[in-house]
Amino acid sequence: MFRILIFGAANLGILVVMGIVFQLIGLDIWLVQNNAGFNTAGVLAFSACFGFGGAFVSLALSKFMAKRGMGVVLIETANNEQERWIVNTVQQQAQKAGIGCPEIGIFNQSQPNAFATGLSRNNALVAVSTGLLAAMDRDEVEAVLGHEIAHIANGDMITMGLLQGVLNTFVIFLSRLAGFFVDRVILKNRGGLGIGYFVTSIIAQIFLSMIATVIALWFSRRREFRADEGGAQLAGKSKMIRALKKLQQVNEPEDLPGEFAAFGISGRGKGLSQLFLSHPPLDERIAHLNQAKIL
């Protein structure tokens, strides 16, 4: 699912770099100033353009980043019986879900994990860790694959791209507004935009991006329940519950590194750190599936 962290680090990096570059070349000054006032329409249009642009650039690069960052080895030709079974299972599930078969890969990680990413329902990647294949039996792996296929079929990647675009728009717009307010109202600068604008807008953009990440991750956690239901429908409810319980038995698998955390099958955290989880606690997911009316 193209959930936050749904691109997290990549998206934040793009926004911050854009903000600095636009200030260095003077684009901010040209956009923000409207005689003596704030150019609301111009800044809002600029924010929407680059807010959605940054989100979809991150989304477009997600497969490439995942392959390189996680060291995913694609199964282009199945070399053994296990790989043949994985490919056949994904192909059958994709056909049942009504999507094109995604690329399939394996990455080397001792913890059981899996993720799906990509630009669209018919241009995606599903990958599982070596730890997952070692820890789970075939029924459980089938359920995990079904969970990831459900993310793709549900359009979670493009949905998170749209959500991140909206959030980016407000981050860019409000950070410029904050910079203008500090420069003109607090510092009472009556000339061109001063250092107060530039420093405040960058700091505000970083701070607001963190808030936007919390919002996106909250939405991501809601989508996990739906993906669990989709996995249960594709592989069977009992298999999906068994897979989640197996994850519990290995003491809640570690999150994937950095921006890939939102793509994984599981996540963990306590206290305030739960705000930055891409997945709900496994107990909640199991309880939700037990109550779901799925055979």
Cα 191 to chain centroid distance, Å, stands at 42
Residue 187: exposure state from Cβ atoms within 10 A (0-12, 13-18, ≥19): middle
CA angle 145, 97, 93 (to 5 degrees): 40
**Distance (Å, whole) CA 4 – CA 109:** 22
**76 part of the active site:** no
Q: For residue 255, give every residue at least 6 positions away whose Cβ sits within 8 Å of its Cβ, in sequence order, or none.
A: 261, 264, 266, 267, 268, 278
Output the CA torsion 275→276→278→280 (10° steps). -30
Kindly report the number of other CB atoms within 10 A of residue 41's CB atom. 9
**Alpha carbon 202 to its chain's center:** 23
Q: Which of 140, 148, 224, 229 is catalytic?
A: 148
Cα gap 218→269, rounded to integer Å: 14
Those residues whose C-beta lies under 8 Å from the C-beta of residue 61, and which sit 6 or more positions away, are 10
Q: Strand pairing partners for 33?
A: 38
Q: Alpha-carbon torsion 18, 32, 213, 273, what sign?
A: positive
Among the listed residues 267, 265, 278, 2, the one whose alpha carbon sits nearest the alpha carbon of residue 132: 265
Residue 65 CB coordination number (10 Å): 18
* Active site members: 148
